[in-house]
Structure 1
Amino acid sequence: MTDSTPPCVAVLGTCDTKLEELLFVRTHLTEAHHVRVKLIDVGRTATTHPAISITQASILAMNPSDHSLPHPIPDVRGLSRNDLITALAARAGPILGSLAATHDIHGIVALGGSGGSALAAEVFAKLPLGFPKLLVSTMAAGDVGPFVRDADVTVTYSVVDIAGLNDILCPILENAAAAVAGMARAYHARTHAEAQADQQKTRRKRIAITMFGVTTPAVTHAREVLAKYDCTPYVFHATGAGGRAMERLISEGFFDGVLDLTTTELADELVGGVLSAGPHRLEAAARRGVPQVVSVGALDMVNFGPRDSVPEKWKAMAGSGERKLYEHNPSVTIMRTTREECAQLGRTIAEKLRDADGEKVEVWLPRGGVSAMDVEGGPFEDRAADEALFGALRSGLVNAGGGKGQVKVVERRENINDPTFVEALVASLAEMMHLEPKDRV
């Protein structure tokens, strides 16, 4: 396809229940915004209409991405709603992913209620970051986390149910069509320009960095030091979604190195905080053999919302002096991890890194504290808890390295935010990645 060819937008939905609304969006895309459209039917009952580009039957005929699912698909009339969504998403996702990879589509818009939104989320997860994804949903006024996940999804609330055109829903669908058409045009132009640029130059090496408010000074200085090298840093806020997005991009081969200064999401996963990145945090780089330097930033804390949202058992223990709670701001309350929790976090990190290539991973321990709050006289200073963390890590990484060299553990006396700690850590990653200073490039 040439740069002058109009972009193409995929329109995804259940044609057996929402054909009128899907065709309304399709018409506005083609007539008002002059883009091409592929209408994709993911309904329970197969629908026949000349505007449908990819039918339900053709989707169900595909091999599923989840190999535990049956192929060919059994009679969908006997499937539960959840099993139907799983079956369709496992087959539609790779179809859309392939179309995006070959630049046959340049954006996607989905319409749905709870089931349709869940199906769309599964499909969106198969599409690359930066690819336009728009969901018009009846569920968008609540928690959209299950629909967004670690993808860059734009969500619009339908206000009324997507069950018949009216003067509330129609303007919303018109806006959705305009939005996805604009995003698709921008994506089409950008990817065309990037393809031309890639033919003319070698890209700079990419480095993922993790940051939290209490490790911001460290990351800010790390970026300043990295500016001397021919590389591009990408900072991820360690808020759960940030860690998941980074792990996904590492898995997809986007990054050449990882400066994982802030592994705090592991504490939320262990203790039950609100910023967990899930059980697979800190696994992608080791699995792919991407050079990484790992530290223990903000493992002194677990995150909750306003103080009233903290589970009663923790508030009770704080009241008796058994735990430390700190109101970071009116919306965020943090809790100091205990000695036992820190020991478990050390064991968890060691277990995740034990089989990594020892020549491509180092663990750096700041004995002066793991955050801006874990300093001498600070509200979370607890050297016994820190030592439990460090000791478990040291013990767990003895003879680690997957038979490819010992995983190196570096201990220094500074706090994690100390410039000298950061400079040494960045220099080590630069050496591991064979980064060249800009003046030599």
Structure 2
Amino acid sequence: MKTIAVIESCDTKFKEAKFISDFIKNEGLNALVINTATGPAPSYNYDISREEIAESYGTPWEEMKPKSKGEKIDYMKDAVAAYVVKLYEEGKIDGIISVGGLQNTVMAANAMQKLPIGFPKVMATTVASGTRKFDLVVGDKDITVMPAICDFTGLNIVTRQVISNACACCVGMVKCAGQVLTKGDKPVVAVTLMGVTNTGAVAAVEELEKMGLEVIGFHATGVGGATMEDMAANGLVDGILDLTLHELTSEYFGGGFSYGPKAKIRLVESVEKKVPLVISLGGLDFVDFSTSELPDRMDERKYMLHNANTAHIKILPEEAEALGKILAERLSKVTYPVKLLIPTKGMRHNTLEGQELYEPKSDSVLIQTIIENVNDNVEVIVIPHNLDTPEFGVKAAHYIVDEMKKQGKLPQNFGEN
């Protein structure tokens, strides 16, 4: 019988824990309730005690008692994750669900984020509300998130329905889908893109698919690029066509629509694993900020409205130099041959002469800084097109195929028929 792990603080959410467990069992599956409570009140309706969780991670609960609430939560967050991963690796769970507030969400989400893509994960949470971003909950994994609407203070007409829907979602995935992501028969190429590089990237995707490759597009605005890096590190990607490195610009500015801590792993994990790599400069030349939180020196900057709430802002020459050095520093870790494609007519759309974000000085400084600072393993190739054009995308597709051939990821005669 398939089993769904239920992560709950069974001191305050013991009614919800029983409701979830009963729902799952009524659907013909097994429920395994894991208690994450850290407070002094007694717990009920669980299968795995907090004492077992704590001790399995190396510390008896008796030693945890004198610690502060924050220290207990921090310890149990990692202890629960380790316990859940062990259950998964031993084939004892087929899905995972949790409902709760911030404390339970932090613990449950941390565990869910350690599980592979495709494994059923459902989180009903009070955190998914207001202006809060989902990054706290989902990280770079496929966690299904359901807003709680009201607080979980017991069972009522709202919580019963929200929890029932969350349970039905997880049960449905376990029964009807729930396959952990695995590679198929075709070699896999990852391509990074965003709206302003979409035309060039899609042309590359279509060319690669025409040659018989499996292609996955990753949206380079937040966690897309980081997810790609993680998949590459786990052997799910055979080659990377990293056309869009916009997250690096957001990382430099420390904000913007595409900002997130995951940017720090861009060009790190994939390089460490020596995945065949062709990169370009898509999106490096601008930053996207809400119109209510624009950066300083706007009187010196060229910008355009992406929509009513977001502005695309061209970087200044000194910022371009700094970004060029950041990219070169990331590439300094490269110990195998990679290609860097330089588009001479713009790194996104709206950057040709006469268009809103045309600023040749910034582009020139960025390109020159990169060229002067990359190491000898990086082959610089100049392409006289705007990156966001079909011509650029098709050329880029053939460059990544060539790299994959050289590294034995594709046969030498691939694409010649």
Q: TM-score, with normalisation over the residues of structure 2?
A: 0.90
Residue 344 of structure 2 corresponds to 367
| CA drift at 1:165 | 1.7
Q: Which of residues 20, 31, 34 is equivalent to 1:25?
A: 20
CA 1:14–1:230: 2 relative to 1, 3 Å: same
Q: Which of residues 163, 166, 169 is equivalent to 1:179?
A: 169
8 Å contact kept, 1:325–1:333: yes
Q: Which of residues 78, 102, 116 is equivalent to 2:66?
A: 78
Q: Which of residues 248, 269, 278 is equivalent to 1:266?
A: 248
Query: Equivalent pairs: percent with the same residue?
Result: 28
SS state at 2:21 partner: helix
Residue 393 of structure 1 corresponds to 370
SS state at 2:38 partner: coil
Residue 338 of structure 1 corresponds to 316
Q: Which of residues 219, 229, 232 is equivalent to 2:214?
A: 232
Residue 403 of structure 1 corresponds to none
Residue 283 of structure 2 corresponds to 298
Which structure 2 segments of 5+ residues have no match?
Answer: none
Residue identity opposite 2:136 in structure 1: P
- The answer on 1:59 being equivalent to 2:30 is no
| CA drift at 1:293 | 0.6
Q: Which of residues 7, 11, 21 is equivalent to 2:6?
A: 11
Q: Which of residues 351, 354, 357 is equivalent to 1:377?
A: 354
Cα deviation code 1:270-307 (max 9, x no counterpart): 112221243222211111111111100011211123x2
Residue identity opposite 1:157 in structure 2: P
Residue identity opposite 2:72 in structure 1: L
Q: Which of residues 136, 140, 155 is equivalent to 2:124?
A: 136
Taking the aligned partners of 1:422 and 1:157, their CA distance within structure 2 comes to 39
Cα deviation code 1:235-285 (max 9, x no counterpart): 011111212222222232221111100001111111122212432222111
| CA drift at 1:55 | 2.0
8 Å contact kept, 2:39–2:69: no
Taking the aligned partners of 2:61 and 2:381, their CA distance within structure 1 comes to 53
8 Å contact kept, 1:15–1:42: yes
Taking the aligned partners of 1:72 and 1:206, their CA distance within structure 2 comes to 45
Q: Which of residues 357, 380, 403 is equivalent to 1:409?
A: 380
8 Å contact kept, 2:99–2:163: no
Residue identity opposite 1:219 in structure 2: A
Residue 122 of structure 1 corresponds to 110
Cα deviation code 1:294-330 (max 9, x no counterpart): 100011211123x2x233x53xx33x3x112211112
Residue 141 of structure 2 corresponds to 151
- Superposition RMSD in Å: 2.3
Q: TM-score, with normalisation over the residues of structure 1?
A: 0.86
Residue identity opposite 1:11 in structure 2: V
Taking the aligned partners of 1:203 and 1:384, their CA distance within structure 2 comes to 46
Residue 169 of structure 1 corresponds to 159
Residue 286 of structure 1 corresponds to 271
8 Å contact kept, 1:286–1:355: yes
Residue identity opposite 2:355 in structure 1: G
Cα deviation code 1:349-406 (max 9, x no counterpart): 11111121232x211111111111221222111111111111111121144xxxxxx2
Residue identity opposite 1:234 in structure 2: I
Taking the aligned partners of 2:256 and 2:104, their CA distance within structure 1 comes to 29
CA 1:221–1:162: 2 relative to 1, 3 Å: same
Taking the aligned partners of 1:384 and 1:254, their CA distance within structure 2 comes to 39
8 Å contact kept, 2:197–2:283: yes
Which structure 1 segments of 5+ residues have no match?
Answer: 1-5, 65-70, 400-405
| CA drift at 1:73 | 7.0
